[in-house]
Amino acid sequence: MLWETFNVVRDLPRLHEITSILIRYGMADVVRALGIGTLLERAGRLLHWKAQSDVMHLDAPVRVRRALEELGPAFVKLGQVMATRVDVFPPNWIIEFEKLQSSVPPVPFESLLPQVEAALGCSPHDVFLDLQTDATAAASIAQVHHAKLADGTPVILKIRRPNIRAKIDADLRIMMHLARLVEFEIPELRRYQPVQIVLQFTRSIRRELDLAAEARNIDRFAENFAGSDTIVIPKVYWEWTSESMNVQQWVDGVPGNNLAAVEAAGLDCKLLGARGADAVLKMIMIDGFYHADPHPGNVFYLPGNRVAMIDFGMVGRLTDERRNQIVNLLAALSGRDDEAMLDVLLEWTGDAVVDEAKLAADVSEFVFNYANVPLRDLRLGALLGELTVIMRDHCLVMPSDLALLFKALITLEGLGRQLDPEFDMVEHLTPFVRRVITERYKPDALLKRGRRSLHDLLSIATGLPRDVARLIKEVRRGKFKIDLDLKRLERFSHQIDHSVNRLTLGILTASLVIGSSIVMTVKGGPTLFGLPLFGLLGFVAAFFNSVWLILSIWRSGKD
């Protein structure tokens, strides 16, 4: 608690800056609800509580997006993570979050030179030839410079911005503090799970800060596509790679967002779309390790209709269990099995409180709408979109790894359609689903699952006597405890609180009636209309208390 207080005091200047920006974009009510404004005013940092008149006519998603842009790199990255949470935010919010770009002006190379020299142990000019001091690309975390190795091989140096870690650490502390306040102080925003989103973002951005981790991702993808002649993964030069800088092979190709150049180069757009989709689906369904942001800016097209991918800072991992759940979902949809689909959704949502009857009805209607649609005619993006709408309507939040996967699949389908208007995502997905199902029932897979089940069974059997003995000892020592997690306990406690308050007021009202009746029989003292004043006031107070009690009971019965 003392350490958190110290952090808040240390981050007061940045907190004041964040709060001022939020107020300026019309979010003063949120600041007041969180109590941050009061904290800053007590610290002597007075706030202007008026929003800019030129932004108040904008929709809330636009104002939030513009506020995030002004708040800086860490908040822009947070917005990009929120753009993956299609299960949490409605489409109009997702559209605005997707507009957030992490492109920022590059810093001068002289500012990068000290950390580059520390990483290399010497001057970069002693290692690289033709080192371009002007950045060819710049983002919020790192920027890229072109160079050549001593043998003339063209490479890029991806260099982390100076002092970026300290700035991001400060923003992460503030984000987590604000997220906890939002969950505690603003119940209507609790459904968005701000703490979980900040935790997901924290893991993501810490991985991106470590440029050596990105290099390890590249090597793993290169290993997974080692036998491919159509997919190109840049080579990493580990001799000069570190946490603050990595050195990669320069991919000289046509950018994926320049379709005119693709056609001018004589490349086959339809074949490129098919190969790119198959590559990402292999990452997801076979390897379980995939590029989580396959948008056109991260793809290059090379002669021979080859596809190259770059920027592996954001990746996703899919466990065997998750992969099987995806397959079960598709199988339930194609088999019109709404109960099986409901089981998958409930597995994803964990222990969340849900009206299963209503959810089952919505899932049944969803399956019915696709009942007569052949698998090849399904549009995966639309299907996943409707599925996330169902989850959002029931206030269900899927695990972050699945949200990232859904976003990657929707982005991939958009990339394929950009290259080929007739692109069919499900047609490319179907062979991988069949392969997973086939592998599920191979003898070695069955044997592996059987061994695991047998091992679990033996572990339970052998551990049972020890667990029973411990339980008996706990009972003998009087340390046996039962923890009950009662759903809706908070609402129940509020109901008890209101009932006790009404009961107390009822007793006081009865006391007033009895006391006033006694006072009425006593002669002397001030009078009003010929009646004892205090007795009369007691009856009036008892009357209003009775009216309040009746209205309160009537309202609670109506609720």
Q: What is the pLDDT of residue 529?
A: 67
- Report CA torsion sign: 234, 236, 240, 241: positive
pLDDT (average), residues 346-352: 73
Q: How far is CA 479 from the centre of its chain?
A: 40
The pLDDT value given to residue 490: 57
Distance between CA 406 and CA 384 in Å, rounded? 7
Most confident of 17-21, 182-186, 271-275, 433-437: 271-275
Average pLDDT of the chain is: 79
Q: How far, rounded to the nearest angstrom, does the alpha carbon of residue 46 sit from its chain's CA centroid? A: 33
Distance separating alpha carbons of residues 305 and 303, to the nearest angstrom: 5
Give the closest residue to 363 by CA, choosing from 340, 338, 331.
338
What digits encode the pLDDT tens for the residues 413-459? 888 888 888 888 878 887 887 888 787 777 887 787 777 777 777 77
Overall average pLDDT of the 492-510 stretch: 70
Is the CB of residue 81 less than 8 Å from the CB of residue 204?
A: yes
Looking from the CA of 49 toward its CB, the CA atoms found within 13 Å total 11
Q: Say whether 484 sits in a helix, a strand or coil.
A: coil
38 pLDDT above the threshold of 60: no
Q: Render pLDDT for 236-261 as a digit per residue (tens, 0 to 9).
A: 999 999 999 999 999 989 988 888 89
Using 50, 70 and 90 to split pLDDT, how confident is the model at 54? Answer: low
Report yes or no: 384 and 409 within 8 Å, Cβ to Cβ: yes
Whether the per-residue pLDDT at 115 is higher than 60: the answer is yes
pLDDT of 206 > 80? The answer is yes
CA 313, CA 205: separation in Å to the nearest integer? Answer: 9
Query: Residue 185 is which amino acid?
Result: E
Indicate which residue of 278, 293, 338, 424 is catalytic: 293
Q: Which of 6-20, 230-244, 543-557 reaches the highest mean pLDDT?
A: 230-244
8 A C-beta contact, residue 349 and residue 396: yes
Q: Which residues pair with 125 in a beta bridge?
A: none
Instruction: Identify the pLDDT of residue 1.
Output: 38
Q: Give the Cα separation of 124 and 230 in Å (integer).
A: 34
Provide the token pair at 251: 């991919």
pLDDT of residue 256: 87
Distance between CA 114 and CA 240 in Å, rounded? 15
| Angle at CA of residue 374, ends 370 and 379, nearest 5° | 65
Strands of the sheet with 142-148, listed across from one edge: 137-138, 142-148, 154-160, 245-249
Average pLDDT of span 151-174: 88
pLDDT of residue 149: 93
* pLDDT score of 11: 64
The torsion defined by the Cα of 35, 36, 38 and 42, in degrees rounded to 10, comes to: 140
Band (2; pLDDT cuts 50, 70, 90): very low
User: What pLDDT, on a 0 to 100 scale, did the predictor assign at position 187?
Assistant: 74
Percent of the chain with pLDDT over 70: 82
Residue 498 phi, psi dihedral angles, 5° rounding: -65, -40
| Confidence band, pLDDT 50/70/90 cuts, at residue 316 | confident
Query: How many degrees, rounded to 5, is the angle at CA 329 between CA 325 and CA 335?
Result: 135
Please tell me the predicted confidence (pLDDT) of residue 431: 84
Among the listed residues 134, 194, 188, 186, the one whose alpha carbon sits nearest the alpha carbon of residue 159:
134
DSSP state of 305: T
Q: Mind listing the pLDDT tens digit for each residue in 213-231? A: 999 999 999 999 998 999 9
Outline where 441-488 has alpha helix (H): 443-477
Question: Closest Cα partner for 506 from 547, 471, 469?
Answer: 547
Structure-token pair, residue 474: 């706990």
What average pLDDT does this structure show over 279-285? 90
What does the block give as tokens for 233? 């993964």
Q: Which residue has the higher pLDDT, 486 or 106?
A: 106
Q: Pairing relation of β-strands 306-309 and 231-232?
A: parallel
- Could you give the CA distance from residue 188 to residue 258 in angstroms, rounded to a whole number? 43
User: For residue 314, what is the DSSP state?
Assistant: S
Per-residue model confidence (pLDDT) at position 300: 93
Structure token digits, residue 400: 């972050």
DSSP H or E run through 246 = strand 245-249
| Contact assessment for residue 83 and residue 100, using Cβ atoms and an 8 Å cutoff | yes
How many CB atoms lie under 10 A from the CB of residue 55? 14
pLDDT > 60? residue 7: no
Per-position DSSP letters for 375-429, written without gaps between them: GGG--HHHHHHHHHHHHHHTT----HHHHHHHHHHHHHHHHHHHH-TT--HHHHH
**Do 31 and 22 touch, CB atoms closer than 8 A?**
yes
Give the model's confidence band at 48: pLDDT under 50 very low, under 70 low, under 90 confident, else very high: low
Annotated catalytic residue 293: yes
| Count of alpha carbons within 13 angstroms of residue 117, beta-carbon side | 9
Question: Does 400 have pLDDT greater than 80?
Answer: no
What average pLDDT score do residues 172-181 get?
82
Residue-wise pLDDT tens digits, 121-139: 899 999 999 999 999 988 8
Q: Is the pLDDT of residue 3 over 50?
A: no
Residues 6+ apart with CB under 8 A from 302: 232, 251, 252, 253, 254, 308
